[in-house]
Every structure is written in structure tokens, then in C-alpha cells.
């Protein structure tokens, strides 16, 4: 009897031990908060003894086109994998890291051994074989950045059958990185605000800024169609009424959202909303891999998605794949001196469209022309919008002195910075400027700014001799009062002085911002081959192309480029398929 009792007790203990061994969590709901890109990210997990049963992620402050996508997609990924250590979202590294860290902390509170979860992850099996699928349509738009989405809206409004592909898990591309605004001349906003401008002056500024390497016909088209593009943006609810100066412009020309927020995310949100309203679905996570040619004409594209390989038959293709500023291997082929330079580009800017176009005979133009932006925060690669300088900020070096006209062209200001001690500078502004430019709030939230109630205190925080910074600021404010910058000849962005405390500084240096070169196009956005002839059925718009910007792009011209030539490419493709 005693033996039977002992055996029973042993079995009970063994079963209990086995149950404990199989238990991964203490059932319940746990949460953790970490700092994301735009603000706090909160992760709440619910677990049983053996499974993550639910996960909720809150991140209202994150940018919808980037961090917001991470908020939406990482929860399902963690739930599927049953571990917090999933792949982050390219382009939303800070938010992804915050989500993964918060999920890890919450699960640790639940008693989880994260290493054990990783060892037993549920998505580690071999990828299932992908299907082969065929789609027949009229037009394929490759890339859902600003140019691609503008083209898609136009194609839909014309009643055409089309598909739009995007290799990233979100729309926007490099457009999400645009901060300043859109250059346009003779717009109704300029006329309403008493600003004199002309198509001729816009074109002349663009040619001069590009060192006359630009294609004059493309530049003329850009300038002539800019006002109409502003009207079109108005028609889809994407108005840009705030006008200010930008480097290289002769007058107030750069159009921005009314509250001064970054133009890129604003337009991506507006374009996305319009596509949703029109019922247009973007094929995300779907990368075009090859252009199909038949009888010397475009016949479609091949692409790869998460679950299938696609052959998409179409009469016309619009390439809107962006540039190659995020592909160091590619840009160092043309500019070896830029190796190791930080980039402001979105991770999808890898030059795919240029490579595909070359494979079918497309010519390239200005491919070695790569622009540095002078105001990039180096630890985050975050671009400090040109509107900060356009609204009155100045640049000083480590000695506290100005060293250039801050609103010269980007290449000139970048070169001036690189000539300073340490090859960096500080951008200095005040509370009044901050109050009138919403884009600055992002820099403050992300801890990029140094703030002080007096110039002397700001100087000490920057390790600058206070006397020199104070003298520099006094001289600048006098220049604004007299409208005479005797030191460096600045004549723009001088409407307001810098006298309202607190004062702010951001340390900046140049970073790769725009690849001016790419596929050669004509004024109808037709892609031109190496023999100087259009490739039938192939069109391109935006940073994938070359010729518009020459040797240096003016701030505000990239947004003009994507909107104007995105629309032109759509109009040309629509006409082509209708023949």
C-alpha cells in the first residue's frame, strides 16, 4: 500500500513538473511603454500559460506613412511568431525598435524566457512555394511614392485599368522625406499674397542652380506646368498655401501646408486618402524585377510578391521607383568620395527602376550628379527642413561665427560647412520661428535641439565662447533690421529677427539627399534609349529620371518634379494605350 501511495505521489510530482516545464507565461495582461520616433509607444500583451493570445500597439504620435505602419504590422508579426524578436520595418527603425523593446519587457513581466520563445518561434518553417500568377491590365505603375501615386490618381480619373506596385510594405517612398515644400510660379496663392514671380524666373533659377547642366526643355516644362499642378493639388484637397523662400530662389516660391508641417508626409497622406476614396489598391511588398519587351515595345513587367510571382501584361509602364541614394554600392560606383556618408533617403531608394530601364536599352543622364543636403542631423540622418533657414535661421560654426549665406544652393552651403572646423555647423533659431513652423516640433520631440533661455546659456551648452555667439546674433538682427547683410549678402529669409527666447540650436552636417541623375526622358515623360529614340510604352517620372535638376537640385523642385511629371507620365501613358 505504501509503495502504491509513493508511486502515485511521484506521478503527481512528475506531472506537475511537466506542466511547469510546458508553461511559458503567467496568464494575464501586461504592458510596457517605450519612446518611439514621434512619441511614446505602448504595447499591451495578453498571454495564456503557453501562448501569446493578443497584442495591442498604440502609437498615435508616429508618422502614419512610416512609424504608423510599424504600429499596424509588427503586432500581427509578433503574434504569428510567438516571440517579440521579429524583423523591424525598414524606414521606421526607431519605432520598430521601441515596439520590440516594449513587447520584450511586457512578456518578461509575464514570466517569459525570451530565448526560449526565440528557439520555438512559429514562423521558422521553410517558406511555402509561391504561386505563378498572371494579370492583364492597360498600365502598370511601378512605385507608390509621390510620382506613382499622382500618376495612379490621374489614371483612375481617366477610367483606365491599371495596377500600382510598391516593393515596400508602405506607400510614400522618398516623398515621405520631403520637408520643405513645392516650387511653383505664377500660382493663385502668390497672386493673392502679392508675390511677383514668373515662369521665366523659375526656369532661370532652376538652370542656374543646376549649373546649366539641366535639360532646358524639361526645366521649361516644370516651370510652365507648376501653377496648374498647384491647382490640381487643390482639387484633391492637398492645398499648399504657405509660401516662403528656399535656397537658390529669387523670390518667395516654395509652397507648403498652411501650418508649416513637412510637405512630404502631408502629400503622402492626401494622395493615400484620395486613392482609398477612388478604390485604388496598392500591391504592397511587391517588387518589379523585370520589364517585359515584345517586338521592340513594352509589354508589361515581372514582379515578386509575398505569395506569388507575377507576370503583368500591359501596354504601358510608368517607372516611378525613385533614385538610388540609399544604395551605397550603387552611388559609390559614380561617386567613390561619398562612401560612408549618411543619407536622408528612404530605404527603398535603391535604383531598381534605373537598372530595369537600362536592361531594355534606356539611356542615362547626369548619373554622377548626387546632392548633399547641408542640414542633416548626423546621428539620426534626419533632415532639418530648408524652411527653417528660409524662415530666418542662421548657421554658425564651432567658433560661433556665420560663414556663408545660408540660402545659397545646397551644394554651396554644404561645401561651406565642410570647410569649417569639424566639418559641421549649428543651425540657430528662436521661439518665434518655432511657433510658426510646425516641422520643428519633430526635432524637439526627438531630442535634436539644444535649448536655452539666453544666448549666453546656449553658447555655453554648445561649448562656444558666449561673446562670439552674442555678437554674431546681434549683427544678424541688425542686418534684418536694415535689410542689409553686409557680411554674406543674404537677401532672402530676412522677414523676422531672432530675438524671442528661448533660443535653439541643432548640430548639422551634409548628408546624401538626392540623386539628380537617372533615366533619360523627354517632355512627355517618355523614356529615351541610347540611340535617342523613345522606348514605346515606357514612361518615367520623379527621382528615377535625370535631366530636370542638372548638377544641383533646388529645394522645392523635387516635389514639383514628382507632381508635375507624375501627371505628365500618366497623361502620356493614357494617350498611348488609347491608340
| Separation between Cα atoms, residue 276 and residue 153, nearest integer Å | 10
| Selection from 410, 383, 415, 367 nearest residue 516 by Cα | 367
Q: Is the pTM of this model over 0.95?
A: no
Q: Are 246 and 172 in contact (CB under 8 A)?
A: no
Q: Are 320 and 142 in contact (CB under 8 A)?
A: yes
The helix or strand, by DSSP H or E, that contains position 300, with its residue range, turns out to be strand 297-304
Q: Are 312 and 140 in contact (CB under 8 A)?
A: yes
pLDDT at 18: 42
How many other C-beta atoms lie within 10 A of the C-beta of residue 208?
A: 16
The tens place of each residue's pLDDT in the chain, 579 residues long, gives 444 444 444 444 444 444 444 688 999 899 999 888 777 889 999 989 989 989 999 988 776 666 778 888 888 889 888 998 888 876 677 888 889 988 988 888 888 888 888 888 766 444 568 899 999 999 999 999 999 999 999 999 999 999 999 999 999 999 998 988 999 999 999 999 999 999 999 999 999 999 999 999 999 999 999 999 999 999 999 999 999 988 899 999 999 999 988 899 999 999 999 999 999 999 999 999 999 999 999 999 999 999 999 999 999 999 999 999 999 999 999 999 999 999 999 899 999 999 999 999 999 999 999 999 999 999 989 999 989 999 999 999 999 999 999 999 999 999 999 999 999 999 999 999 999 999 899 899 889 999 999 999 999 999 999 999 999 999 999 999 999 999 999 999 999 999 999 999 999 999 999 999 999 999 999 999 999 999 999 999 999 999 999 999 999 999 999 999 999 999 999 999 997
| Separation between Cα atoms, residue 30 and residue 84, nearest integer Å | 14
| Separation between Cα atoms, residue 382 and residue 372, nearest integer Å | 13
Q: Are 142 and 321 in contact (CB under 8 A)?
A: yes
Instruction: Give the helix, strand, coil percentages of the chain, each rounded to 5.
Output: 40, 25, 40
pLDDT at 66: 67
Three-point CA angle 433, 61, 95, nearest 5° = 110
3-class DSSP assignment, residue 22: helix
Q: Residue 30 pairs with which residues in a beta bridge?
A: 45
| Selection from 417, 413, 424, 435 nearest residue 498 by Cα | 435
What are the strands, taking DSSP E only, across 518-562?
518-520, 526-528, 534-540, 545-546
Three-point CA angle 64, 66, 71, nearest 5° = 75
| Assigned CATH topology for domain 24-119 | Sufe protein. Chain: A (3.90.1010)
Domain spans of the chain, in order of start: 24-119, 141-369+516-577, 371-511
| Separation between Cα atoms, residue 272 and residue 145, nearest integer Å | 10
Give CATH superfamily name and number for 141-369+516-577: FAD/NAD(P)-binding domain (3.50.50.60)
Q: Are 569 and 548 in contact (CB under 8 A)?
A: no
| Assigned CATH topology for domain 371-511 | Flavocytochrome C3; Chain A, domain 1 (3.90.700)
Q: How far is CA 533 from CA 216, 362, 365, in A?
A: 18, 9, 14
Residues recognised as catalytic: 410
- DSSP letters for 143-158: --BHHHHHHHHHHHHT
pLDDT at 12: 46
Amino acid at each position: 500500500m505504501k509503495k502504491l501511495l509513493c508511486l502515485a505521489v511521484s506521478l503527481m510530482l512528475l506531472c506537475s513538473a511537466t506542466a511547469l516545464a510546458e508553461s511559458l507565461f503567467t496568464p494575464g495582461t501586461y504592458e510596457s511603454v517605450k519612446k518611439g520616433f514621434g512619441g511614446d509607444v505602448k504595447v499591451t500583451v495578453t498571454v495564456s500559460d503557453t501562448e501569446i493570445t493578443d497584442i495591442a500597439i498604440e502609437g498615435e504620435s508616429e508618422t502614419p506613412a512610416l512609424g504608423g505602419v510599424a504600429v499596424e504590422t509588427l503586432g500581427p508579426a509578433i503574434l504569428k511568431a510567438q516571440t517579440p524578436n521579429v524583423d523591424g520595418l525598414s524606414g521606421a527603425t526607431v519605432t520598430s525598435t521601441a515596439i520590440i523593446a516594449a513587447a520584450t519587457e511586457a512578456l518578461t513581466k509575464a514570466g517569459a524566457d525570451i530565448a526560449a520563445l526565440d528557439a520555438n518561434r512559429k514562423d521558422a518553417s521553410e517558406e511555402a512555394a509561391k504561386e505563378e500568377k498572371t494579370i492583364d491590365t492597360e498600365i502598370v505603375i511601378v512605385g507608390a511614392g509621390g510620382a506613382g501615386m499622382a500618376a495612379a490618381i490621374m489614371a483612375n480619373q481617366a477610367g483606365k485599368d491599371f495596377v500600382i506596385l510598391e516593393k515596400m510594405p508602405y506607400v510614400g517612398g522618398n516623398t515621405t522625406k520631403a520637408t520643405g515644400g513645392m516650387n511653383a510660379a505664377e500660382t493663385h496663392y502668390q497672386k493673392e499674397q502679392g508675390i511677383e514671380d514668373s515662369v521665366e524666373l523659375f526656369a532661370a533659377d532652376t538652370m542656374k542652380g543646376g549649373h546649366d547642366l539641366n535639360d532646358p526643355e524639361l526645366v521649361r516644362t516644370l516651370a510652365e506646368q507648376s501653377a496648374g499642378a498647384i491647382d490640381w493639388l487643390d482639387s484633391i484637397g492637398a492645398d499648399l498655401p504657405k509660401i516662403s523662400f528656399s535656397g537658390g530662389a529669387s523670390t518667395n516660391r516654395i509652397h507648403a501646408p498652411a501650418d508649416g508641417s513637412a510637405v512630404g508626409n502631408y502629400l503622402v497622406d492626401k494622395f493615400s486618402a484620395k486613392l482609398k476614396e477612388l478604390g485604388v489598391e496598392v500591391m504592397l511588398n511587391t517588387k518589379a524585377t523585370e520589364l517585359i519587351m515584345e517586338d521592340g515595345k513594352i509589354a508589361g513587367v515581372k514582379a515578386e510578391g509575398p505569395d506569388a510571382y507575377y507576370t503583368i501584361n500591359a501596354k504601358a509602364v510608368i517607372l516611378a521607383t525613385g533614385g538610388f541614394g540609399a544604395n551605397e554600392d550603387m552611388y559609390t560606383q559614380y561617386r567613390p568620395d561619398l562612401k560612408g556618408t549618411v543619407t536622408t533617403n528612404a530605404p527603398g531608394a535603391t535604383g531598381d527602376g534605373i537598372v530595369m530601364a537600362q536592361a531594355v536599352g534606356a539611356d542615362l543622364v547626369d548619373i554622377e550628379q548626387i546632392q548633399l543636403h547641408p542640414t542633416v542631423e548626423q546621428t539620426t540622418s534626419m533632415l532639418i527642413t530648408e524652411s527653417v533657414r528660409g524662415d530666418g535661421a542662421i548657421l554658425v560654426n564651432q567658433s560661433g561665427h556665420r560663414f556663408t549665406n545660408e540660402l545659397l544652393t545646397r551644394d554651396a552651403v554644404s561645401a561651406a560647412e565642410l570647410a569649417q572646423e569639424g566639418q559641421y555647423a549649428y543651425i540657430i533659431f528662436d521661439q518665434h520661428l518655432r511657433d510658426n513652423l510646425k516641422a520643428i516640433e519633430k526635432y524637439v520631440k526627438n531630442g535634436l535641439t539644444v535649448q536655452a533661455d539666453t544666448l549666453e546659456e546656449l553658447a555655453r551648452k554648445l561649448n562656444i565662447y558666449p561673446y562670439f555667439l552674442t555678437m554674431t546674433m546681434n549683427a544678424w538682427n541688425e542686418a534684418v533690421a536694415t535689410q542689409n547683410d553686409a557680411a554674406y549678402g543674404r537677401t532672402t529669409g530676412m522677414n523676422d529677427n531672432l530675438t524671442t527666447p528661448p533660443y535653439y540650436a541643432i548640430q548639422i552636417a551634409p548628408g546624401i539627399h538626392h540623386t539628380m541623375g537617372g533615366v533619360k526622358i523627354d517632355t512627355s515623360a517618355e523614356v529615351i534609349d541610347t540611340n535617342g529614340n523613345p522606348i514605346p510604352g515606357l514612361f518615367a517620372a520623379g527621382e528615377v529620371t535625370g535631366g530636370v535638376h542638372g548638377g544641383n537640385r533646388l529645394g522645392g523642385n523635387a516635389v514639383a518634379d514628382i507632381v508635375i511629371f507624375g501627371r505628365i507620365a500618366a497623361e502620356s501613358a493614357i494617350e498611348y494605350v488609347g491608340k
